[in-house]
A = this chain, B = another copy of it.
Amino acid sequence: MKLSSQSQAFVLHFGEMGSRWGFNRTVGQMLALLTIHSEPLNADQLGEALKISRGNVSMGLKELQAWRLVELHHRPGDRKDYFTAAGSIWDMARTVFEERRKRELDPTLSLLRQLLLNDPQDEEEVRAQERMQEVYTLLELLDEFATTLSRLSEDDLLRLMKMGSGLSRLLDLREKLKGGSSGAGD
């Protein structure tokens, strides 16, 4: 398993970006390698290509499985586990997006729901709760929107993302139509 300098650069970059995207360096590298490699790879191959220990590979694969980003394969007559990236690039992006929504929004929504149940004890708390309520409203909306997006078909998603500034024109159009029709619940 020798990587071309192209692949090497791609893999190293994914390692460095990993932490910004929600996983650690080696997990990022493993995902990158599985993404560009045509054949399924086993743990030894991953470890050798990335120069990391067997234990680290195992933990990384566990993490990638938790993210549902890799798929397990078997070769006839070979007891090793082989892995590939799970699905198309679009599938993977959707999975990362969905997983990050859960990790980055849900815990905060849940805490805020809880805090907003309490009665404020003084003026300062009233103000604090007002702001927390604003944060909550925004994050909840964002959470719903993210969920909506990740449920769109690939076609719809593509159409939406390609709209550019046409998006606000479409929103105006919809606003005009809404008056007369049975508007979608908002």
- Measured CB to CB, the residues of A under 8 A from B are 4, 6-7, 9-10, 13, 17, 20-22, 35-38, 88-90, 93, 103-104, 107-108, 111-112, 115, 118, 120-122, 124-125, 127-129, 131-132, 134-135, 138, 141-142, 144-145, 148, 152-153, 156, 158-171, 173-175, 183-186
Contact = CB atoms under 8 A, between A and B. Distances in A.
B163 A10 contact: no
Given A93-B138, A161-B141, A164-B185, A128 B171 contact: no
Contact of A148 (B145, B159, B165, B175): B165
A163 B180 CA distance: 17
Contact of A10 (B22, B132, B170): B132
A139 to B, nearest CB: 8
A114 to B, nearest CB: 8
Contacts of A186: 159, 162-164, 166
B175 A159 contact: yes
A122 B4 CA distance: 10
B160 A184 contact: no
Contacts of A169: 184
Given A132-B36, A161-B142, A104 B17 contact: yes
